[in-house]
């Protein structure tokens, strides 16, 4: 499963979510800054 985490300013749980997603799927999630205009093609998108 390919995943990505959209990171917003003021949040601090993105690293916890990234570790959990990697443990579950075996793949590191892509980290995406909230202002990025291009989203990666993934199976799961998490807002953090």
CB 2 within 8 A of CB 43: yes
Helices (H), the chain: 14-25
Domains of the chain, by residue range, sit at 3-47
For the chain, the residue count is 48
pLDDT, one tens digit per residue, over 11-31 is 999 999 999 999 999 999 999
Residue 8: what pLDDT? 96
Average pLDDT on 30-41 reads 97
- Number of alpha carbons in the 13 Å side-chain half-sphere of residue 46: 19
Q: Using 50, 70 and 90 to split pLDDT, how confident is the model at 6?
A: very high
Q: How confident is the model at residue 35 (pLDDT cuts 50, 70, 90)?
A: very high
Rounded to two decimals, the pTM is 0.90
């Amino acid at each position: 499963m390919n995943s990505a985490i959209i990171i917003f300013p003021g949040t601090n749980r993105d690293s916890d979510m990234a570790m959990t997603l990697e443990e579950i799927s075996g793949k590191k999630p892509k980290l995406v800054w909230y202002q990025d205009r291009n989203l990666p093609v993934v199976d799961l998108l998490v807002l953090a």
